[in-house]
Amino acid sequence: MAVTTTPVDDGALDGFGERLHGDLLRPADSNYDEARRIWNGMIDRHPTAIVRARGVSDVIATVDFARERDLLLAIRGGGHHIAGNAVCDDGLMLDCSAMRSVQVDPERRTARVEPGATLADMDHETQAFGLATPLGINSTTGVAGLTLGGGFGWLTRKYGMTVDNLRAVDIVTADGELRRASEDENADLFWGVRGGGGNFGVVTSFEFDLHEVGPEVLAGPIVYRGEDAADVLRHVRDFNEDAPDESTVWMVLRKAPPLPFLPEDVHGVGVVIVVAFYAGDTKEGEDVLAPLREFGEPIADAVGPQSYAEFQQSFDPLLTEGARNYWKSHLFEDLSDDAIDTAVEYAETLPSPLSEIFFGQVGGAMARVPADATAYPHRDAEYGMNVHTRWEEPADDDRCIAWAREFFDAMAPHATGGVYVNFVSERAGEESVAYGENYDRLAALKAEYDPTNLFRMNQNVEPAA
């Protein structure tokens, strides 16, 4: 997919900037470099201009300006996507990060969320009423990008994916029109935004269903030595097979970080971290999780009652902004012994102390939604694997990327062949496996709402002929 843009003269930009309520930044402005930086430190792109939108009118004006001049347009919500689609070279960057309000209706159990809000913003507001919706695992992630790609996390097995809890969106489409999409209004468009990424427009408001969660939950990590990893992963896999939807257990292979509950002599040593979460009564959860916690000889067991909002931020220190990142991802219907052995083998050669392999348990309520009910197609997966390959120095780029690709290839025979679109590092080339059997329908929808492919800074669906 060629990504091109048309030059735009300074006079046109001057006139455009005067019509905005927000700011228009150009390379000579002192805060331009700060504004173009995003979460993945490998991404270093220079847009011609950056619009810092303050409201829907700025979004509409920017879409119109980009369309009329055939400008490459990148949309930033939280700026967290691994491929760096939030920023482009030479074109126009629409930065929605200042639009971050979250309005909760506790009686209806709904929340209206702007596109710049992060998971932390949403949790802060919803947890004031003991409510939540399924989101991700890193609180600095943007709600918008997470949702448009599908969205899964600790509540997914109990309440479904993020898109399964989406009631409606307000969206600016390529023609500059603000549309509302829901099951009852523009239903085809609503289907597409639930997993089809940013292909159909700029969502300026998301409306979610909320559920009673917390404010206290039973959750936390159990840490084992790396030499026990194969046995631990098998035990967790077997435990998960019969666990209720309230139980979610993820597994992480990495070097032990300097966490306060870990003894210093294991810092930097290979470990397997079992992260347990129970979306229900904490005393009931103690009984359910007991067989998990009684296994083997853990280095540490920090499972206990804690604030849901704080638990949602517990992995933030391991995924801070600025490091260089390259991820590879698979989905699995089950974890075979061979798959586990392969993962454990590669965990012994992780290319940097910041890198990790995680297996996130999904299934449950997510699996009970038909594959064609939303644009997100991969409802048969019981696990999502992501390789967080992270490092600091540009000189290590080739080595770290090569390791991630080699491991990805080694795990492919055990996987479904699909991939979660939010974990795709490549700018292009994985669309068919990301959107799966729903791709053709997405292409037809794209031809209707974005026939010129204005919104192409994404895992792009090209308009059907």
- What per-residue confidence (pLDDT) applies to 11? 83
- β-pair partners for 172: 178, 202
- Residue 406: the pLDDT is 97
Alpha helix ranges (H) inside 225-336: 229-241, 282-293, 308-311
Least confident of 11-20, 112-121, 361-370: 11-20
pLDDT, residue 423, reads 92
pTM comes to 0.95
**Given this model, what pLDDT does residue 4 score?**
54
* 3-state class percentages of the chain: helix first, strand second, coil last, to nearest 5: 35, 25, 45
Residue 193 pLDDT exceeds 50? yes
Calculate the alpha carbon distances from 318 to 218, 272, 311, 402 in Å.
21, 15, 13, 22
Contacts 24+ apart (CB under 8 A), 119-126: 119/143, 119/146, 119/312, 120/309, 120/312, 120/313, 123/308, 123/309, 123/312, 124/309, 126/102, 126/210
pLDDT tens digits for 291-305? 999 999 999 999 999
**Residue ranges, CATH 3.40.462.20, the chain:** 216-423
- pLDDT one-digit tens code per residue, 56-89: 999 999 999 999 999 999 999 999 999 999 999 9
What is the predicted pLDDT for the residue at 5? 60
Backbone torsions φ then ψ of 257, nearest 5 degrees: -75, 165
What's the whole-number mean pLDDT along residues 262-272?
Answer: 91
Can you give the pLDDT at residue 2? 47
pLDDT, tens only, 251-260: 999 999 888 8
Res 9 pLDDT > 80: no
Question: For residue 318, what pLDDT band results from cuts at 50, 70 and 90?
Answer: confident
pLDDT single digits (tens) 372-393: 999 999 999 999 999 999 999 9
Summarised one tens digit per residue, pLDDT across range 358-370 is 999 999 999 999 9
Q: Give the Cβ contact number of residue 453 at 10 Å.
A: 15
Statement: residue 16 has pLDDT above 60: yes
**C-alpha to C-alpha distance for 96 and 76, rounded to whole angstroms:** 6
pLDDT for 259 equals 82
> In this predicted structure, what is the pLDDT of residue 83?
93
Helix H or strand E encompassing 433: helix 431-435
**How much is the pLDDT for 1?**
45
| The length of the chain, given as a count of residues | 465
Residue 145: predicted pLDDT: 96
pLDDT digits (tens, 9 = 90+) for 125-147: 999 999 999 999 999 999 999 99
Q: Round to whole Å and give the CA distance between 103 and 111.
A: 5
Cβ-Cβ contacts under 8 Å for 53 (sequence gap 6 or more): 20, 21, 22, 59, 62, 94, 95, 96, 98, 99
Residue 233 has pLDDT above 90, yes or no: yes
Residue predicted with more confidence, 2 or 270:
270
Contact assessment for residue 244 and residue 292, using Cβ atoms and an 8 Å cutoff: no
| Distances 274 to 53, 248, 262, 365 between C-alpha atoms, Å | 41, 10, 14, 22
Q: What pLDDT is stored for residue 276 in this prediction?
A: 98
Q: What CATH class does 216-423 carry?
A: alpha beta
Looking at the predicted structure, is the pLDDT value of residue 7 above 90? no
CATH topology of domain 102-212+435-449: 3.30.465
Residue range 411-461, pLDDT digits in tens: 999 999 999 999 998 877 788 899 999 999 999 999 999 999 999 999 999
Q: CA of 209: how far to CAs of 59, 106, 138, 372, in Å?
A: 25, 10, 20, 21
The rounded distance, in Å, linking the Cα atoms of 303 and 291 is 13
- Residue 97: name the closest of 113, 112, 77 by CA: 77
- Chain centroid to CA 31: 27
Q: What is the pLDDT of residue 8?
A: 75
Q: Where in the chain is the domain with CATH 3.30.43.10?
A: 10-95
Residues of each domain in the chain carrying CATH 3.30.465.10 = 102-212+435-449
For residues 83-110, average pLDDT: 97
Show the beta-strand stretches assigned E in 333-454: 356-361, 383-391
Q: How far apart are CA 462 and CA 465, in angstroms?
A: 9
Tell me which CATH code domain 10-95 carries. Answer: 3.30.43.10
Residue 442 pLDDT? 97
